[in-house]
Chain A
Amino acid sequence: GAVVSQHPSRVICKSGTSVKIECRSLDFQATTMFWYRQFPKKSLMLMATSNEGSKATYEQGVEKDKFLINHASLTLSTLTVTSAHPEDSSFYICSASRTSGMSRLSYEQYFGPGTRLTVT
């Protein structure tokens, strides 16, 4: 299957600082990547859709100025949590979509291993 990496896997930061998380598709080009957040024992919540070369599309309730997304190339998207607070502590997971030819019914998402953020 396709490989998606994330870095760092775990980060602890102080309240008020910013943290950047990288998501890379290692063996395929991903025009679209997704950023999710997952709290303990809860479902993945889509935060934003990242499109290469254009602005990200944020889900309702997600502050775009707080969660900065950059998709500079077909293999790299970054999420920066600015001025982090303890309530931002969560498991952040990116995914990249890989389609099968022209079929619009073959969307599958491949997930990175996630980044566990702890804000103290």
Chain B
Amino acid sequence: RKEVEQDPGPFNVPEGATVAFNCTYSNSASQSFFWYRQDCRKEPKLLMSVYSSGNEDGRFTAQLNRASQYISLLIRDSKLSDSATYLCVVNSSYNNNDMRFGAGTRLTVKP
């Protein structure tokens, strides 16, 4: 089983739609969780950290469910510029500096 699993998509949604991605992780001792965004042929960029209580940043909402070992990302009112690959990132419990990446979920927002 992969350490971090994501639905690869692609998700094709119209502008203005709400879309949600889920990510599951295998290591129950993981402590830190993030969503990164990666545009084609570019480096990943931090979108948001995911906190236990859930957190929101504008149109983006992240949730963490430790019991079921998954995190989610909700994007409301999708924009064309949201088209990218969204990477779920979880740290390894053995080293808090050791992040493990999911394969990413591809989102395309269409006009």
- A46 and B98 in contact, given A105-B31, A107-B32, A108-B49 (Cβ under 8 angstroms): yes
Q: Are B32 and A43 neighbours in the complex by a CB distance under 8 Å?
A: no
CA distance A45 to B68 in the complex (A): 25
With known contacts A107-B32, A108-B49, A43–B42 Cβ distance under 8 A? no
Smallest beta-carbon distance B66→chain A, Å:
13
Cβ–Cβ contact A93 & B43, under 8 A: yes
Name the prevailing secondary structure of the B interface residues. Answer: strand
Q: Is the CB of A107 within 8 A of B103?
A: no
Q: How far is the CB of B110 from chain A (nearest CB, A)?
A: 20
Interface residues of chain A: helix, strand, loop or mixed (majority):
strand
Interface size class of A (residues with CB under 8 A): 20 to 34
- Contact A111 B98, CB 8 Å, known A42-B103, A43-B87, A104-B31: no
Known interface pairs A43-B87, A43-B104, A44-B87. Does A107 touch B99 (Cβ–Cβ under 8 Å)? Answer: yes
Does B101 reach chain A (CB closer than 8 Å)?
Answer: yes
Asked if A61 lies at the interface with its beta carbon under 8 angstroms from chain B, I say: no
Are B102 and A97 closer than 8 Å at their CB atoms?
A: no
Please report A residues at the B interface, Cβ cutoff 8 Å. 1, 32, 34, 36, 42-46, 49, 91, 93, 97, 104-114, 116
* Besides the known contacts A43-B104, A49-B95, 12 further A-B residue pairs in the complex with CB atoms under 8 A apart: A44-B44, A46-B101, A49-B98, A93-B44, A104-B96, A105-B31, A105-B96, A106-B49, A109-B99, A110-B46, A111-B44, A114-B43
